[in-house]
Amino acid sequence: MRAVHMSGPGGPRSRRGLAVGALALALALAASAWAQPKPLALPATWYGVQIDGNAFTVELPGIPDYRQLGDASARGTAFVLHSYSLEAGGNSYVVQTALYPADVDVGDPRRLLQTALDDRAKVLEGGKWSRVDWRTVAGVAAADSTGLLKGGNALRQLVLLKGRRLVSLAFMGPAASTTGTEADRFFKSLKMK
């Protein structure tokens, strides 16, 4: 069987020659497209995490490290602070909770939350929060606060007290990120039991 010749600007060509030319053109176009860097965008996988025996749940963009830290009340009664932390996408996520012992007066939740805010403010630029919004979350008093950290990043923290349970969610990252999609998803995911 003989190949069919076709005329073109470069003279007669066979079907095989056309196929090779088309393949070369396709490879050149593919190489050109491949050479252009495209950022790899993987969808974030968020996980529902049960905190301290399912006292509450929160979503995080990964599996957090878990630690138990020893703490004590002002009168010296020991209690455990459960801490969950994760670094993801250039941001830090921290979830902490504790059951205050009986010698801690929880009758004035706002006073206890203010004490927690004042203690955390020590790491902030100027030692104070830029913004503190008092509101109700899950039916209890809560404070949503934001402040600049020494070194340029920012901290957003939500603290609440439900009965004897202290809950703290903290997000650290570039200042603009504290009101961004990741931070909002993290804070809105809190579900008290």
DSSP 174-189: SGGGGGSHHHHHHHHT
pLDDT at 150: 86
Q: How many domains does the chain have?
A: 2
Residues 34 and 54 in one domain: no
Residues 91 and 175 in one domain: yes
Residues 10 and 61 in one domain: no
Query: Cα–Cα distance between 96 and 119 in angstroms, integer?
Result: 14
pLDDT digit string, tens, across residues 141-160: 999 999 999 888 999 999 99
Residues 27 and 116 in one domain: no
DSSP H/E element including 27: helix 15-35
| Choice among 37-46, 108-117, 147-156, 163-172 with the minimum mean pLDDT | 37-46
Cα maximum dimension of the chain? 101
CA atoms within 13 A on the CB side of 97: 22
pLDDT digit string, tens, across residues 80-136: 999 999 999 999 999 999 999 999 999 999 999 999 999 999 999 999 999 999 999
What CATH number did the domain enclosing 145 receive? 3.40.1000.10
Q: What is the mean pLDDT of the segment spanning 11-21?
A: 49
Residues 2 and 53 in one domain: no
pLDDT of 3 over the 60 cut: no
pLDDT at 26: 47
Residue 176's domain spans which residues? 47-192
Residues 103 and 34 in one domain: no
Residues 170 and 93 in one domain: yes
Residues 58 and 108 in one domain: yes
Instruction: Give the mean pLDDT of the chain.
Output: 85
In a 10 Å sphere around its CB, with 0-12 CB exposed, 13-18 middle and 19+ buried, how is residue 17 labelled? middle
Residues 72 and 167 in one domain: yes
Residues 54 and 7 in one domain: no
**pLDDT exceeding 70 applies to what percent of the chain?**
78
Q: What is the CA radius of gyration of the chain?
A: 29
Residues 71 and 107 in one domain: yes
Query: Cα–Cα distance between 110 and 72 in angstroms, integer?
Result: 20
Query: Cα–Cα distance between 34 and 8 in angstroms, integer?
Result: 30
Residues 16 and 64 in one domain: no
pLDDT at 37: 62
